[in-house]
Chains A and B, each alone.
Chain A
């Protein structure tokens, strides 16, 4: 309940424009010329001081991308993107390899402070005295570069590598070469291939055998620059018996034009390893008339490569004008497990086409999908999911539950499940419901004294409870607030 109360208070404090992360940081940046060509790919690679193999990898992807066409099967509509009218690289000028936080542009630190992301370890420590296990290490990515990564030294002591992927390419080339593109190949799909050619930064995590990562890891993505695409790349490897919990958050300024975000995330879990990946996605959704907002075209995939490994995706999606995203699990190892917990909220003119793929390859693999879609305003919210069992996947099991909640009568909720089983012993269950916040349900709450905002917050929080419980504790409250803010003005 306190969360609901806070939500409501927060909603009240916000004026007409609900998006509070919409400010622009005035900072000088270093940009690549507009458009995309082999030269731009070389430019990015050179900016990052990359080895030759990396440049070749990128160029290979770029050449492949030239032969591909944009996918059109998703239930989203938008004008054709002119890929030559974008900037593919932008970096704050002053942050070329800061040695310590003191060298980071104060303007940047202020930006993250404003976003509620603490980057000074001392301050983080001071803030949570006596609760050392609640610390979160942060990698902050601003436009195309990682600005700073906190708690690096301490993580290193545990053997955990947590750094910008550009740094990993230079410092840990063997690991990167072994795993990069091994889950999402450069040929995977239009946006993933584009990302492979031009990705600028992102996070790299390596947890060695038997190590339980001593703290939550998180990356905070911020798009600042105008007309700039953000193409981050994240790679997480959990060796045998390792465990890591990782969270990403994202925001962007309010701008009239649409901006492109095409990320790739690859997870690799070896024998008995577990990766928990949580996302709170709050890119700018556009204004109340549907102008502006981020196009969020993202490929996220986890490979349960080892036996008894487990990958769990939890996502709270409230932002972006268009979301096209299907965090998936390849259940390759025998007895491996995949989970997908999702809350997708759409309001205004937002379009969401999201879901998951659970590919059962190994024996006795299990997967679980809980998806909660909430549509309000004039938005469209589609769950699209595939559950498949390979012919060798004997004993595969899946449970899927897709619930949709409609607020108002001008929005749409759609559920598109694909189920393919080539093994007779596989058991797949699918449940789906669609409900509407009914007038009489609202009136019942009003009659008990709740305002309509409080009533919607309460009903929605009840609806998403199963998924919120999966989020790391400190983000669950944040997520609840975010959901309610996104739904502000959706009734009455």
Chain B
């Protein structure tokens, strides 16, 4: 807990993109998040590492507003606004993006169609005009080229028959087009070979910006070689138990999570 406090103190004076206080969430009568405290200042990239079952993915779903979790206590303030009660699609329009660990397939709906639907839905929710088709096409072309996403892939039904690497690149493509304020990357490295990992990481790094924050959730350190975080948090048994600089990731890689699993249970 001392470590958390010291990091938080070090951030004094910075504007927060995300501020989570004492967040408790359960599924049925099983409590998964047990008092998460986390602050992510604007423009920073934070990593959350932790053993399986520590609540990392649950945290990402709860932040994105997925149904099925009871928030029993605590608050999530995003861009200065409490969002615990805000529906998922409104959070998306406000600028929260979740890159899924397992992106979903939608048969019969071309990737291009889905991209346009998503972009325009968010624009509409924000009271902006819908994109014209040429404007949309131009944006897609620029973003797709950077991620090695081919036109052929854009015509295929969303994620149907995509390889693991294609699915993840498609997630980052959506992130690039939707221009979120906070991007949550849930185990984006899973299922990627080293070349695909490089492409995806380059794509993410290109989206780092002074007005955008990122929360990178990962089990392994290797992703953080490519996407170097400002702060690393360790999550165990539903809490952030330690925070530090990028070197913390290396320490975890060397020693494993055994200490935290034991400590959290105690």
Contact = CB atoms under 8 A, between A and B. Distances in A.
Contacts of A465: 108
Interface string A324-344: 000000000000000000000
Interface in B85-105: 87-89, 92-93, 97-98, 100, 103-105
B122 interface: yes
B64 interface: yes
Contacts of A449: 89, 92-93, 118-119, 121-122, 125, 178
Contacts of B65: 446-447
Interface stretch (A49-57, A58-66, A356-364, A453-461): A453-461
B183 to A, nearest CB: 12
Interface string B111-128: 001101111111001000
A462 interface: yes
Given A446-B89, A449-B92, A450-B118, A439 B106 contact: no
A444 B104 contact: yes
A410 interface: no
A463 B108 contact: yes
A313 to B, nearest CB: 21
A438 B105 CA distance: 11
A263 interface: no
A172 interface: no
B142 interface: no
A128 B129 CA distance: 29
B120 to A, nearest CB: 8
A444 B64 CA distance: 10
A461 B157 CA distance: 12
Contacts of A444: 100, 103-104
B118 A463 contact: no
Contact size class for B? 20 to 34
Contacts of A443: 64, 66-67, 88
A4 B110 CA distance: 13
B88 A4 contact: no
Interface size class of A (residues with CB under 8 A): 20 to 34
A451 interface: yes
A443 B42 CA distance: 26
A441 interface: yes
A70 interface: no
A466 B109 CA distance: 11
B256 interface: no
Contact of A446 (B87, B116, B157, B174): B87
B70 to A, nearest CB: 16
Contact of A447 (B92, B113, B116, B120): B92
B108 A446 contact: no
A445 B178 CA distance: 13
A462 B157 contact: yes
Nearest to A437: B106
B197 to A, nearest CB: 23
B92 A451 contact: no
Contacts of B64: 443, 447
A448 interface: yes
A133 interface: no
Contact of B109 (A438, A439, A440, A458): A458
Contacts of A126: none
A454 B117 contact: yes
A441 B66 CA distance: 11
A463 B117 contact: no
Contact of A459 (B88, B93, B109, B174): B109
A131 interface: no
A146 B117 CA distance: 43
B108 A448 contact: no
Interface string A238-274: 0000000000000000000000000000000000000
A458 B120 CA distance: 13
B161 interface: no
Interface in B27-82: 64-68
Interface of B: 64-68, 87-89, 92-93, 97-98, 100, 103-109, 113-114, 116-122, 125, 157, 174, 178
Given A5-B120, A448-B122, A449-B89, 8 more contacts: A443-B66, A443-B67, A444-B103, A444-B104, A445-B106, A446-B88, A447-B98, A454-B117
